[in-house]
Amino acid sequence: MPVVANIFAVSCTVEFQGSDFESQIPPSPLPRYNPAMASILVIGPHPDDQELGMGGSIARLAGQGHRVHLVDMTNGEPTPLGTPERRAKEAAAAAKILGVERTLLGLPNREVVHTLDARHRLAAVIRRHRPNWMFVPYPIDAHPDHVATTRIAEDARFDAKLTRSAIPGEPWHPKRIIYYYCTHLMMNFQPVFFLDVSGQMETKIAAVRAYESQFIENKSPVVEMVRTMNAFYGGRIGTPYAEPFFTYEALGFGGLDQLV
Ligand SMILES: [Zn+2]
């Protein structure tokens, strides 16, 4: 008899005899995951990358009650109009606007490289915040700091779960890595999904504008470009604004009620 027929027969037997078959199924070894209270780390090479790429999503997720924390790999300086002190104030102001806090990992700007030390430093932050999801830059990028940040984050996720290591904290393994798109990429890409940020767009713009030394004093076109890009992505899903994301790993949904 074919396997499929066998399975059907078992199912019918259970249904018709009122068996307590379900109670005999061992419980799932996986802990129940509560998507209403996720811990989320958003890792950026430089302060402003997270805001530009997914500031609306950060505000939305934080507003929904998730624990969202930003990690800056470097302080982002030097830049033409910035100083470390000024950039730190701007980064703090942007985080406040989004309703989150941030940690500076302290790697040297423009010199981020994929080393064991960098991996372990970030793994310690992962252990402290115990994120369910990690957001990191899309792996293809023209800026070496961005490419290195993504590789460091991917490996730090693995390192963080190791027992008998010198990494401070208890082992932890983030369930998912999701990639956001940094805005200076001059390439077309195919996102896996979009998040509707129509209700958070002005908050995102305000957070981006907090980086006065990067976008306001030099009259940068980036702020309007971000609005235009997010409007374009919104058009892909029929909402005023959206932010795009990519993942290599399969996404599981608890329902379809949130699809737009
Ligand atoms: Zn950057």
CA of residue 145 to ligand 1 center, whole Å: 7
- Which 3 state secondary structure label does DSSP give 133? strand
CA of residue 214 to ligand 1 center, whole Å: 11
Rounded Cα distance, 76 and 166, in Å = 28
Rounded Cα distance, 38 and 223, in Å = 30
Rounded Cα distance, 47 and 74, in Å = 7
Give one DSSP letter per residue of 144-158, joined into a string: HHHHHHHHHHHHHHH
CA of residue 53 to ligand 1 center, whole Å: 10
**Structural class in CATH, domain 33-182+192-246:** alpha beta
Residue numbers of the chain with a pLDDT score lower than 70: 1-36
Handedness of CA 50, 145, 225, 193 (dihedral sign): negative
- Return the pLDDT at 35: 62
CA of residue 25 to ligand 1 center, whole Å: 49
Model pTM score: 0.86
CA of residue 47 to ligand 1 center, whole Å: 7
CA of residue 193 to ligand 1 center, whole Å: 22
- Return the pLDDT at 258: 85
Point out which residues pair with 179 in neighbouring strands.
Answer: 136, 246
ω before 240 within 30° of 0 (cis)?
Answer: no
CA of residue 115 to ligand 1 center, whole Å: 19
CA of residue 10 to ligand 1 center, whole Å: 57
- Return the pLDDT at 7: 42
Q: For the chain, which residues make up each domain, given as ranges?
A: 33-182+192-246
- Return the pLDDT at 16: 37
CA of residue 85 to ligand 1 center, whole Å: 18
